Amino acid sequence: MPYVEKDHFNRDMNYVPDRITRDGRDGWPVEPGRYRLVAAKACPWATRAIIVRQLLGLEDVISLGMPGPVHDEDSWTFELDEGGRDPVLGIEQLREAYVARFPDYPRGITVPAMVDVPSGQLVTNDFPWITHDFFFEWSDHHREDAPDLWPAAVREEMEDVMQHVFTEVNNGVYRCGFAGTQGAYEKAYRRLWDAMDWLEERLAGRRYLMGDTITEADVRLFTTLARFDAVYHGHFKCNRQKLTELPHLWGYARDLFQTPGFGDNTDFDQIKAHYYRVQSDVNPTGVVPAGPDPDVWLTPHGRG
């Protein structure tokens, strides 16, 4: 699992650092059809990569394998596929791709993962760089009308915004959910809601985080917001308010959800199954809640 449980939550950010680049400097050159993105819709970090792949029009260039939402301590598995095997890689567990390259791989098996199809080996699971490189390294293969997810004019500020979103919101909900003491939880709760209030204020005067167009920053925030009421509000005790009670963030989240690439890659059943069934230390009964009603995501957002 990508976290360490003590009194305070700390995310393990030690990933395989290889990158797929135009010049192939790490031994993995950009090559259409060669690589498979393995990414579960249950996982927010993996869903980022699925969304960016679609926004940029890379579906015919990088194939997609999708594990199911429930995994054990050993690996993500392909129970959604016929026979329980990924149809391209021919494996039952994502771990098989990891050990094909690193026979004694010592860390958790995480998604997203880029796998080299000819060898069946993991290339990288370094999730921030995967979407970065989809934009910069695979640009020759983007569709003609692909959005500029890293606009040069705001890139420096965007990096700061994304870092704040990562530490305080993407990780902030986990910091609340896996706090080991009351004091650690209350500190995490205050940090999260300080950031949520900052976002609510920022989005009062602009359609998206960086202005009038969707950027990578929006993708990174969206996957947390999409899980907020369904999981984080109750399961992780992030319960000062629901997302639906924050007018600017809620309108913004629906605006993105109703944009191709976002809502169609958001599976609330898989999301709830993953958090409520896998994280048995937080939810020992394994009971998965029936709500909330996903149809509220299709109501008018008023941000056009």
pLDDT at position 13 is: 81
Query: From residue 10, how far is each of 24, 124, 179, 246, 275 by CA, in Å?
Result: 32, 21, 10, 28, 18
* Residue 76 is assigned to a ligand binding site: yes
- To the query of whether residue 275 is one of the catalytic residues in this protein, the response is no
- In the chain, the percentage of residues whose pLDDT exceeds 70 is 97
Query: From residue 2, how far is each of 92, 107, 125, 182 by CA, in Å?
Result: 21, 9, 11, 22
Q: Does the model's pTM come out above 0.85?
A: yes
pLDDT digits (tens, 9 = 90+) for 261-290: 999 999 999 999 999 999 999 999 999 999
| Maximal CA-CA distance, the chain | 52
Judge: domain 152-259, CATH 1.20.1050.10.
yes
Tell me the C-alpha distance between 143 and 231, whole Å: 34
**pLDDT range class, residue 4, cuts 50, 70, 90:** very low
> Residues 35, 98, 174, 275: which is the catalytic one?
174
The ranges assigned to domains in the chain are: 3-141, 152-259
Type of residue numbered 223: T
Pairing of strands 35-38, 63-65: parallel
Residue of 156, 253, 158 whose CA lies nearest to 196: 253
Other CB atoms within 10 Å distance of the CB of residue 182: 8
> May I ask the CATH class of domain 3-141?
alpha beta
- To the query of whether residue 176 is one of the catalytic residues in this protein, the response is no
Tell me the C-alpha distance between 43 and 108, whole Å: 14
> Residues 3, 15, 35, 43: which is the catalytic one?
43
CA dihedral 180, 184, 173, 194 (to 10 degrees): 170
pLDDT at position 73 is: 84
